[in-house]
Amino acid sequence: MRHVVTPEEAGSRADRLLAHLASAPRSLVAQAFKDGLVTKSGDAIKASFTLESGDEIEFSIPQRPSLEVRPEEIDVPILYEDDELLVVDKPAGMTTHPAHGATSGTLVNALLAHTGGLPGEPLRPGLVHRLDRDTSGLLVVAKTPGALSALGKAIAKRNVRREYLGLVKGRPQHGSGTIDGPIGRDPHNRLKYAIVAGGKPSVTHYTVREPLRNDAEVLFTLETGRTHQIRVHMSALGHPLINDPLYGRSDSRFALPGQALHAWRLSFKHPVTREPMSFEVAPPPEYELAKQLLQ
């Protein structure tokens, strides 16, 4: 591809302009520079090169290889299963679905081996909601297209109740409250999310379940389900989750793989029978040990 730098683009870093022009992830843009695939007047330039008006650049951005999801025999606790759905207790440290950098060992790999096949997107079959890699607990998975559609609509209409338990740094000033803050990409760190103007509406209700010595165990109820929602909201409140390496800090005292957060309760209506269904699963031993250390 060829592009002539406009006066408005003058002064831009080459990598930032190419990421915009190609609508490509920065990792692929960085690789293109390393491979010498970005040139000006025939000479390779660096990612940090400052462009001037009239510069003619040529570039080629490599495509990511397509991902293939393979069934893998991985033991995952199944709390309930029928012809339409199943409810699992995802272990902390397990990624929910494959992505670049985590193509195996995920919950989806395990579910495909168990069921033989699931409806929906190739990389996220059966999923109507997700949990962060280091968050443990309850997930409902659809086994049929009808169940996937019905559960997806229930999530969108906020008819699925999701309650979490978490250990937070310090004690919130109020025993209960609501955090209403739109969430989007952190403009300063693409690995993080933040409360930002123009973000997606995000609402978290919280109640202090048990005061600890200097910290607290908190019950969270979600109205929305944004990526990292509880972690972002509690960090903004000044009480990040214990052992959260991204929004707080890691603590070597704990055996947890990451943040002390557990999807504790899950309630919804069965997509076919319409019968109310409710599930509860205790936090894993690592969470309970962390709580004991904070008492």
Q: Are residues 282 and 180 part of one domain?
A: yes
Q: Are residues 84 and 37 part of one domain?
A: no
What span, in angstroms and rounded, lies between the C-alpha atoms of 205 and 164? Answer: 10
Burial 98-131 (b: 16+ CB within 10 A, else e): beeeebeebbbbbbbebeeebebeebbbbbbbbb
CATH of the domain at 54: 3.10.290.10
Q: Spell out the residues 6+ positions from residue 215 whose beta carbon is closer than 8 angstroms to its own.
A: 167, 168, 169, 170, 171, 242, 294
- In the sheet that holds 56-59, the strands lie side by side as 2-4, 56-59, 38-40, 43-44
pLDDT digits (tens, 9 = 90+) for 221-237: 999 999 999 999 999 99
Expressed as residue numbers, the domain containing 22 is 2-59
Answer whether 253's CB lies under 8 Å from 246's CB.
Answer: no
Longest dimension (CA), the chain: 68
pLDDT tier for residue 193 given thresholds of 50, 70 and 90: very high
Q: Are residues 6 and 38 part of one domain?
A: yes
pLDDT score of 101: 63
Answer whether 38's CB lies under 8 Å from 58's CB.
Answer: yes
Q: Are residues 119 and 176 part of one domain?
A: yes
pLDDT digits (tens, 9 = 90+) for 281-292: 999 999 999 999
Q: Are residues 154 and 35 part of one domain?
A: no
Helix (H) or strand (E) holding 85: strand 85-90
What span, in angstroms and rounded, lies between the C-alpha atoms of 148 and 142? Answer: 5
Instruction: State the average pLDDT for the chain.
Output: 93
- 132 flagged as catalytic: yes
What span, in angstroms and rounded, lies between the C-alpha atoms of 204 and 220? Answer: 7
Q: Are residues 21 and 92 part of one domain?
A: no
pLDDT digits (tens, 9 = 90+) for 146-164: 999 999 999 999 999 999 9
Question: Does a structural domain hold residue 134?
Answer: yes
pLDDT tier for residue 48 given thresholds of 50, 70 and 90: very high
| pTM of structure | 0.79
Q: Are residues 254 and 173 part of one domain?
A: yes
Q: Are residues 33 and 135 part of one domain?
A: no
Q: Are residues 212 and 107 part of one domain?
A: yes
| pLDDT beyond 80 at 27 | no
Residue among 15, 89, 132, 215 flagged as catalytic: 132
What span, in angstroms and rounded, lies between the C-alpha atoms of 40 and 101? Answer: 32
Question: Domain count of the chain?
Answer: 2
Q: Are residues 272 and 134 part of one domain?
A: yes
pLDDT score of 64: 63
